[in-house]
Amino acid sequence: MTETIRVLLVDDQELIRVGFRMVLEAEPGITVVGEAADGHAAIAQVAALAPDLVLMDIRMPGLDGIAATEAIVRQHPQTRVLVLTTFDLDEYAFGAIRAGASGFLLKDAQRHEMISAVRAVHRGDAALAPRITRMLLEHVTPQLGAARAEPDPAESARLAELTDRERDVFLAIGRGLTNAEIAQSLYVGESTVKTHVGRVLAKLGARDRIHAVILAHRLGLVGDSADRNPASPDGTAQA
């Protein structure tokens, strides 16, 4: 039997919560266990209901979604947060990612995009639609911090634990490729890619795919600088 995804809706606008509830509960395997209109209520509801996923608005009165996300991820690491954003509010969304959110969802998303995002974040897979992935990759260096001149020894040690194939998968994740795209590029089956992704996340200590993307950029393994001067598994530059 398929596991039911238990969702908490957090938005200060009741009509938006009603609309999201109607869309989500029309889908098999998804149930809305509660709602909250601000960050304080969201934190309390997560403690009381232990949802699998929180659909989190960012701009709310009282405690905003960024602070609420940080508290929820810290206190309830098993609960994933999917933040609601718009293109003209990128800085808020990236703040939520820094706080520990696992993905973006546009407020004007189509029904199938919302369902796909919820299911993806729940399983720790591709949490972002391609257009949002591109936006993340375009902003990740200035918004989340450029690659360190001196790599973190712990991160370098974890990176060195990856096999050659797992490293290939990690770099592909960092470039924003989906599992299907990775499978095509590496000439392997998609189920094999899923296995590799799981091992990569576990070895790197990454909570989910989006944080693997951030790690790849922070280590300087993807992007223009990496293309010009790629790093070897031990963090040294290759000639």
| Mean confidence (pLDDT) of the chain | 81
Strand partners, 103: 82
Long-range contacts: 124-127, Cβ < 8 Å, 24+?
124/80, 124/201, 124/207, 124/208, 124/209, 125/179, 125/194, 125/197, 125/209, 126/178, 126/179, 126/209, 127/82, 127/102, 127/103, 127/208, 127/209, 127/210
pLDDT confidence band for 131 (50 / 70 / 90): low
Q: Across residues 24-43, what is the average pLDDT?
A: 95
CA neighbor of 235 nearest in space, from 142, 139, 158, 136? 158
Amino acid identity, residue 26?
A: A
Q: What is the predicted pLDDT for the residue at 132?
A: 57
pLDDT given at position 180: 87
Task: Examine the pLDDT at 1 and tell me if it is beyond 80.
Answer: no
**Is the pLDDT confidence value at 151 over 90?**
no
Gyration radius (Cα) of the chain, Å: 18
Give the tens place of pLDDT for each residue, 85-114. Answer: 765 555 666 777 778 888 877 778 888 888
The pLDDT of residue 228 is 39
